[in-house]
C-alpha cells in the first residue's frame, strides 16, 4: 500500500518539482544501517534479539536487491525502514510515505520464519513505490498497479518466485481490474480492484505493446528505469503526463501515453481471454504447460527471463 502524500506547499510557491526526499542521514533511533549498491537503508527494528535482527536484515537485503536489479539501482539514495513486531508468523500490511523523507513501515510476526520471509511480497511491493514520483491521488492506480505488477516480474527475474506462480496470480487476479457496470475510467474509479489490478493490467498491456512495437527489444522495465533516473522517484512530484512521456521516450514508442488516454476517463473491457491465448498462458499455469507456440510466447518469456534488460 501507499499512503497519500500531504499537500506540498513548496510546489505551489516555487512552481517547481517538490522534493520530499528528506534528510540525507539516518534518524537517531536507527538500530542498524545497510548499504545496497550506492543507497543507504536505515533500519528501525523494535526486536532486540540478535537472531531476529539477522533474519530481518537478510530479508531486507534480498528484497532491496530484487528491486535494485530491476531498476538498475535501489530507487532512493536513503530510505527509512521501520519494522515493527506483531503476533503470529506472517508479514502484515506495509505502508510507504514521503511526507517527511522516504519511509517504509511493515509489521512482521514474531514467529515469521526464514521461509515465510523468503516468500514475502510486501516489502518488494513497498520498495517499488519508491521508484515512481508522486503523481497525485487521482492517479494512485498507476502507483499501486506498478507495485503490484513489478513485484511479481522483479522477483521472477531474480529467481525469488516461480514464473508459473506469477502468471497464475495475474491470470486469477487481473479480472478484478476490469470495469464493472456503471464504473468510469481509471482516473474516476478509485475502487480496490481497479486501483491494484486495473493498474497492474495497464502495466501488462503496456509491457506487451511496447515489446510488440520494438520487436521484443525493450519492455516496460526500460521505461520505468528512465522514469526513475529522470524524476528521482517518490521523493519528488511530477505530472502524470510528463512521467509517461519520459517512459515513452526511453522505449521510442507512445504506448504509455496512448494507453493512458484510452482508459483515463473511459472504462475499457480488455479481452483477457484473448490476451492469455496470445501470450500462451494456460488456464492454470501451476499445473498446465505454457504454449510456447502462441503468437506472443517470446514476449511472455522475455518479461520474466532472469535479469532481462
Ligand atoms: Zn502499495
What local confidence, expressed as pLDDT, does residue 306 receive? 86
DSSP state of 137: G
177-230 pLDDT, tens per residue?
A: 999 999 999 999 999 999 999 999 999 999 999 999 999 999 999 999 999 999
Give residue 289 CA to ligand 1 midpoint distance, Å: 31
The pLDDT-based confidence of 12 (bands split at 50, 70, 90) is very low
Cα distances from 210 to residues 194, 214, 301, in angstroms, run: 22, 6, 15
- Ligand 1 center–CA 144 separation, angstroms: 5
What's the gap in Å between 141 CA and the centre of ligand 1? 9
**pLDDT band per the 50, 70, 90 thresholds, residue 18:** low
Q: Ligand 1 centre and the CA of 230: distance in Å?
A: 22
Are 98 and 237 a contacting pair, CB within 8 Å?
A: no
CA of 288 to the centre of ligand 1 (A): 30
* CB contact at 8 A, 228 and 131: yes
Enter the C-alpha cell of residue 164: 508459473
Quote the pLDDT of residue 22.
67
Q: Render 216-234 in DSSP notation, one character per residue.
A: TS--HHHHHHHHHHHH-GG
- Does residue 13 carry a pLDDT above 60? no
Alpha helices in the chain (DSSP H): 9-14, 50-71, 114-118, 122-129, 140-158, 163-173, 192, 199-213, 220-231, 240-251, 255-263, 272-279, 297-304
Domains of the chain: 9-129 (3.30.2010), 137-304 (no CATH)
CB of 198 closer than 8 Å to CB of 177 = yes
Measured in angstroms, how far is the CA atom of residue 291 from the centroid of ligand 1? Answer: 32
How far is ligand 1, taken at its centre, from the CA of residue 129, in Å?
7
> What is the CA(125)–ligand 1 centre distance, in A?
6
Ligand 1 center–CA 136 separation, angstroms: 14
- Between the CA of 93 and the centroid of ligand 1 the distance, in Å, is 9
Mean pLDDT, the chain, rounded, equals: 93
pTM: 0.94
Averaged pLDDT, 251-260:
98
Amino acid at each position: 500500500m501507499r499512503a497519500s502524500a500531504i499537500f506540498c506547499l513548496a510546489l505551489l510557491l516555487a512552481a517547481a518539482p517538490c522534493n520530499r526526499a528528506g534528510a540525507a542521514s539516518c534518524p537517531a533511533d536507527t538500530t542498524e544501517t545497510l548499504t545496497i549498491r550506492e543507497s543507504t537503508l536505515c533500519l528501525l527494528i523494535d526486536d532486540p534479539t540478535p537472531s531476529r535482527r539477522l533474519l530481518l536484515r537478510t530479508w531486507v537485503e534480498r528484497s532491496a536487491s530484487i528491486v535494485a536489479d530491476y531498476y538498475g539501482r535501489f530507487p532512493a539514495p536513503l530510505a527509512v525502514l521501520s519494522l515493527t513486531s506483531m503476533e503470529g508468523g506472517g508479514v502484515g500490511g506495509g505502508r510507504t510515505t514521503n511526507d517527511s523523507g522516504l519511509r517504509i513501515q511493515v509489521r512482521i510476526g514474531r514467529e515469521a520464519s526464514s521461509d515465510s520471509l523468503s516468500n514475502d511480497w510486501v516489502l518488494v511491493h513497498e520498495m517499488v513505490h519508491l521508484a515512481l514520483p508522486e503523481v497525485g491521488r487521482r492517479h494512485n492506480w498507476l502507483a499501486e498497479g506498478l507495485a503490484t505488477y513489478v513485484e511479481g516480474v522483479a522477483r521472477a527475474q531474480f529467481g525469488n518466485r516461480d514464473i508459473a506462480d506469477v502468471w497464475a496470480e495475474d491470470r486469477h487476479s487481473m479480472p478484478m481490474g476490469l470495469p464493472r457496470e456503471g464504473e468510469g475510467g481509471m482516473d474516476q474509479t478509485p475502487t480496490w480492484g481497479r486501483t491494484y489490478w486495473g493498474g497492474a493490467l495497464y502495466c501488462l498491456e503496456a509491457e506487451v505493446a511496447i515489446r510488440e512495437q520494438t520487436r521484443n527489444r525493450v519492455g516496460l522495465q526500460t521505461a520505468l528505469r528512465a522514469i526513475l533516473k529522470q524524476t528521482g522517484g517518490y521523493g519528488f512530484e511530477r505530472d502524470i503526463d510528463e512521467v509517461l512521456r519520459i517512459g515513452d521516450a526511453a522505449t521510442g514508442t507512445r504506448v504509455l501515453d496512448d494507453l493512458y488516454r484510452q482508459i483515463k476517463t473511459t472504462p475499457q473491457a480488455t479481452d483477457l481471454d484473448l490476451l492469455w491465448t496470445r501470450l500462451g498462458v494456460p488456464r492454470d499455469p501451476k499445473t498446465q504447460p505454457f504454449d510456447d507456440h502462441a503468437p506472443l510466447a517470446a514476449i511472455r518469456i522475455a518479461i520474466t527471463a532472469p535479469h532481462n534488460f
